[in-house]
């Protein structure tokens, strides 16, 4: 086991989705809460790519936002390299912030349209005071070349670039503060399929070159398979299974993981029939009692309707399922 | 200007000429004509001390015998000919218009600037912070919108006069007027900026800045402000025409600028007294000047709104 760079413990996030106060009083409705993330714990080891997969609404992006500090957790804590994020402030927080970065989903929204590319990439350098004057220019030029663009592109505006090139710029910005850990929130889902592979390969090369650790968020299993060392499967805000990447694809334990993998198109032409994902993800405001997956689960038993399964440690990760626990799977 | 501005690029003039906005201006006859009219009046106002044939505020140069000279006719007593005639005190109407436009434009620009600064800052804070502060500011804005702005300006003007000692009233009148018009006009800037800020603040480039811990005030000024200025410029142009008219209305009603510091509105008020005794030019020329100024600025605002709207192209 490598040492954990990021440790997430019991992370939970509620959102207040109540109607306005006056409506609640008149309609006699209580406050409504949505549990986007419930009691999620995992750790990301130095140098690895940890992927979080799940359908939309499973809480992937909420976890990403909490880890980089865009959203405060309702409960639980995030420990970065032994230092809890909550309660860290001032200069200590500044030096902590320099060490993690984020790459966003939409490269058309993640670059300020009125800034020159050079200024966009230099923003973290200037914010953290890592360089000044001509040094900034040189560093930006170097970063642009690292991500496969030219130093002269620094003078252009984002609208002069394609989606893939913009994502390269976003990656250069993320690299500019020399971080150790990068949260990638669906970095390729807004791109053409032909460009996706280029960006993913670039990210892998950069990982090798700079020893980066990635938290990779995606709903695309084939992308995750290409990128991840370990994978966490999220269902309705809870971790269903954590496993080594290869093992998950070979023999998924949790029934939800199986269902997801069965739905992936068979690219190897092994003759495996593709199965449809059955049912829909339930409304998170009013989740089913017991195991949230039980209405869709082929292995459902009585216990699943009453109790929430606790994570059970298995060889290379964990699974939160009574069927796995009882050996019925 | 950033470090990344290219060193070799066309001159600023060349780039301005080649821009989409300049092209749209060149090819729109309405914009071209109203631009020329507005520019002529603005230049005339700015250079009034050098352009005006007479100084209407120098009592030594005034001759009461010149009073009520009709336009382009020699005065029966002195034989002097005035382009647009003279008023009751023998002041050259053309010169008073140049000086009056100077005052009107100063009040208009200053009031719009004041309303813009106030509205933009409150709108940015309300849109970005949200929550109770947003609620409070927007309810104040709602309440203010239920009063006609001219009524509000009258109220502010009246209250301010109560506080200012009589000796300073005349000198302070112009500043009171600017604040009164500005305060009655900030709401629309605040609303537009708030709306645009709420759209921008959820975009990922703002999140990228927040991840690295950029201070919220810096995010507002360097990231959000440049992206919300487009609509603000449009309402500022139309707001300039409205402010000039508001000033003229207040001065016409006699609560604005004193006759010693006449604006176009004051001139119209003075001229109005002579309309029925046949001296029409004392009223007509300042009124035409005000109309031309307000109309051309307004048409420019309309053009700017269309030119900046990508969906109308």
Burial A162-190 (b: 16+ CB within 10 A, else e): ebbbbbbbbbbbbbbbebbbbbbbbbbeb
DSSP 8-state code for residue A301: -
Confidence check: pLDDT of A21 > 80:
yes
Query: Over the stretch B24-41, which tens digit does the pLDDT of each residue have?
Result: 888 889 999 999 999 999
Question: How confident is the model at residue A272, as a pLDDT?
Answer: 62
Q: Name B286's Cβ contacts closer than 8 Å, sequence gap at least 6.
A: B93, B96, B97, B100, B264, B267, B268, B271
Mean pLDDT over A300-327 rounds to 86
B15 in any annotated domain: no
Distance of CA A52 to the CA centre of its chain: 5
B17 in any annotated domain: no
State how far the alpha carbon of B203 is from the alpha carbons of A101, A190, A196, A267, B208, in Å. 17, 15, 22, 36, 9
Confidence at A22, pLDDT banded by 50, 70, 90: confident
Mean pLDDT over B47-55 rounds to 86
Is residue A260 a contact partner of residue A297, using CB atoms and an 8 Å limit?
no
The C-alpha of B200 sits at a distance from chain A's nearest C-alpha, in angstroms, of 9
Mean pLDDT over A3-25 rounds to 88
Confidence at B1, pLDDT banded by 50, 70, 90: very low
DSSP 8-state code for residue A109: T
Structure-token pair, residue B197: 């800020």
Q: What residue has token string 């002579």?
A: B274
Largest CA distance in chain B: 81
Question: How confident is the model at residue B278, as a pLDDT?
Answer: 82
Confidence at B276, pLDDT banded by 50, 70, 90: confident
What chain A holds in terms of domains, given with CATH numbers, is 4-99+179-244 (3.40.50.300)
Which residues of B are less than 8 Å from A110 in CB distance?
203-205, 207-208
* Cβ under 8 Å to A: B residues 145-164: none
Which residues of A are less than 8 Å from B226 in CB distance?
112, 114
Average per-residue pLDDT for chain A: 88
DSSP 8-state code for residue A294: G
Question: How confident is the model at residue B51, as a pLDDT?
Answer: 87
CB–CB of A122 and B227 under 8 A?
Answer: no
CB–CB of A106 and B204 under 8 A?
Answer: yes
CATH number reported for the structural domain that contains residue B146 in this entry: 1.10.3720.10
Mean pLDDT over A40-45 rounds to 93
Size of interface A-B (CB pairs under 8 A): 75
**Nearest residue, CB atoms, B205 vs list A109, A117, A118:** A109
Confidence check: pLDDT of B57 > 80:
no
The interface predicted TM-score of the complex, written ipTM, equals 0.87
Could you list the residue range(s) of the whole structural domain that residue B201 is in?
24-54+67-74+81-312
Question: How confident is the model at residue B2, as a pLDDT?
Answer: 67
Whether B227 contacts chain A with CB within 8 A? yes
Confidence check: pLDDT of B154 > 90:
no
Between the ranges A293-297, B3-7, B104-108, where is the mean pLDDT highest? Answer: B104-108
Task: Give the whole-number percent of chain A exceeding pLDDT 90.
Answer: 51
Structure-token pair, residue A166: 């913009």
Mean pLDDT over B243-248 rounds to 91
B13 in any annotated domain: no
Q: Specify the 3-state DSSP secondary structure of B219.
A: helix
Mean pLDDT over A140-167 rounds to 93
B248 in any annotated domain: yes
B39 in any annotated domain: yes
Dist. CA B190–CA B116, nearest whole Å: 8
Dist. CA A80–CA A77, nearest whole Å: 10
State how far the alpha carbon of A189 is from the alpha carbons of A172, A192, A218, B101, in Å. 18, 8, 8, 58
Question: How confident is the model at residue B56, as a pLDDT?
Answer: 80
Structure-token pair, residue A219: 């709903």
Q: Count the Cβ atoms, other than its own, within 10 Å of residue B2.
A: 12
Confidence at A1, pLDDT banded by 50, 70, 90: very low
The two beta strands, A4-16 and A75-80, are antiparallel
Structure-token pair, residue A12: 């939970």
B237 in any annotated domain: yes
Structurally, chain B folds into a number of domains equal to 1
**Nearest residue, CB atoms, A110 vs list B6, B205, B212:** B205
B207's enclosing H/E stretch is: helix B204-211
Query: Over the stretch B100-145, which tens digit does the pLDDT of each residue have?
Result: 999 999 999 999 999 999 999 999 999 999 889 999 999 999 999 8
Q: What residue has token string 């936002």?
A: A65
Q: Specify the 3-state DSSP secondary structure of B34.
A: helix
User: Among the listed ranges A18-32, B134-148, B222-236, which one has the minimum average pLDDT value?
Assistant: A18-32
Task: Give the residue among A7, A140, A177, A157 at the shortest CA–CA distance from A77.
Answer: A7
User: Residue A151: closest CA among chain B residues belongs to which residue?
Assistant: B4
Structure-token pair, residue B293: 């100024």
**Nearest residue, CB atoms, A104 vs list B6, B208, B227:** B208
B132 in any annotated domain: yes
Which is more confident, B4 or A208? A208
Structure-token pair, residue A79: 């420990």
Distance of CA B173 to the CA centre of its chain: 17
């Amino acid at each position: 086991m490598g040492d954990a760079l990021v440790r997430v413990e019991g992370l939970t996030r509620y959102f207040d989705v109540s109607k306005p106060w006056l409506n609640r009083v008149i309609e006699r409705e209580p406050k409504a809460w949505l549990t986007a993330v419930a009691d999620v714990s995992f750790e990301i080891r130095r140098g690895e790519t940890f992927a979080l997969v799940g359908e939309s609404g499973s809480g992937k992006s909420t976890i990403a936002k909490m880890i980089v500090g865009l959203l405060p957790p309702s409960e639980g804590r995030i420990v970065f390299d032994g230092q809890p994020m909550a309660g860290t402030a001032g200069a200590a927080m500044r030096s902590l912030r320099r060490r993690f970065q984020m790459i966003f989903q939409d490269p058309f929204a993640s670059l300020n349209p009125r800034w020159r590319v050079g200024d966009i990439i230099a923003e973290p350098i200037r914010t953290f005071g890592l360089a000044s004057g001509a040094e900034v220019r040189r560093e930006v030029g170097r970063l642009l070349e690292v991500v496969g663009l030219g130093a002269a592109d620094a003078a252009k505006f984002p609208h002069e670039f394609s989606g893939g090139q913009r994502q390269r710029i976003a990656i250069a910005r993320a690299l500019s503060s020399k971080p150790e850990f990068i949260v990638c929130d669906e970095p390729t889902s807004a791109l053409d399929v032909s460009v996706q592979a280029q960006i993913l390969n670039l990210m892998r090369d950069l990982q090798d070159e700079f020893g980066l650790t990635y938290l990779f968020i995606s709903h695309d299993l084939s992308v995750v398979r290409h990128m991840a060392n370990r994978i966490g499967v999220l269902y309705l805000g809870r971790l269903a299974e954590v496993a080594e990447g290869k093992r998950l694809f070979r023999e998924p334990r949790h029934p939800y993981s199986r269902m997801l993998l069965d739905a992936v198109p068979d690219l190897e032409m092994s003759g495996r029939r593709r199965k449809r994902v059955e049912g829909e993800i339930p409304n998170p405001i009013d989740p089913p009692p017991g195991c949230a997956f039980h209405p869709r689960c082929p292995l459902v038993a009585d216990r699943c309707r009453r109790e929430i399964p606790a994570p059970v440690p298995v060889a290379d990760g964990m699974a939160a399922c009574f069927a796995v626990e009882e050996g019925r799977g | 200007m950033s470090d990344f501005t290219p060193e070799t690029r066309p001159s600023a003039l060349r780039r301005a000429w080649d821009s989409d906005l300049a092209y749209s201006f060149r090819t729109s006859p309405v914009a071209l004509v109203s631009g020329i009219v507005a520019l002529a009046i603005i230049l005339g106002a700015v250079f009034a001390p050098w352009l005006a044939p007479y100084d209407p505020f120098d009592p030594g140069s005034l001759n009461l015998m010149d009073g009520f000279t009709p336009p382009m006719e020699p005065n029966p007593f002195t034989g002097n000919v005035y382009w647009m005639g003279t008023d009751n005190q023998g002041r050259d109407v053309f010169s008073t218009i140049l000086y009056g436009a100077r005052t009107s434009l100063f009040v208009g620009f200053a009031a719009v600037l004041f309303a813009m600064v106030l509205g933009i800052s409150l709108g940015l804070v309300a849109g970005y912070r949200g929550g109770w502060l947003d609620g409070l500011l927007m309810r104040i804005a709602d309440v203010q919108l239920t009063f006609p702005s001219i009524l509000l300006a009258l109220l502010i003007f009246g209250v301010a006069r109560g506080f200012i000692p009589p000796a300073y009233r005349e000198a302070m009148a112009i500043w009171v007027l600017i604040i009164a018009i500005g305060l009655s006009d900030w709401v629309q800037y605040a609303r537009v900026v708030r709306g645009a800020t709420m759209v921008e603040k959820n975009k990922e480039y703002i999140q990228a800045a927040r991840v690295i811990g950029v201070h919220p005030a810096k995010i507002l000024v360097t990231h959000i402000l440049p992206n919300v200025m487009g609509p603000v410029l449009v309402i500022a142009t139309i707001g300039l025409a409205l402010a000039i008219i508001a000033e003229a209305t207040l001065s016409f009603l006699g609560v604005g600028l004193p006759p010693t510091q006449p604006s176009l509105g004051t001139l119209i008020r003075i001229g109005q007294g002579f309309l029925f005794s046949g001296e029409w030019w004392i009223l007509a020329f300042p009124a035409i000047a005000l109309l031309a100024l307000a109309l051309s600025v307004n048409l420019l605002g309309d053009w700017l709104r269309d030119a900046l709207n990508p969906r109308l192209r």
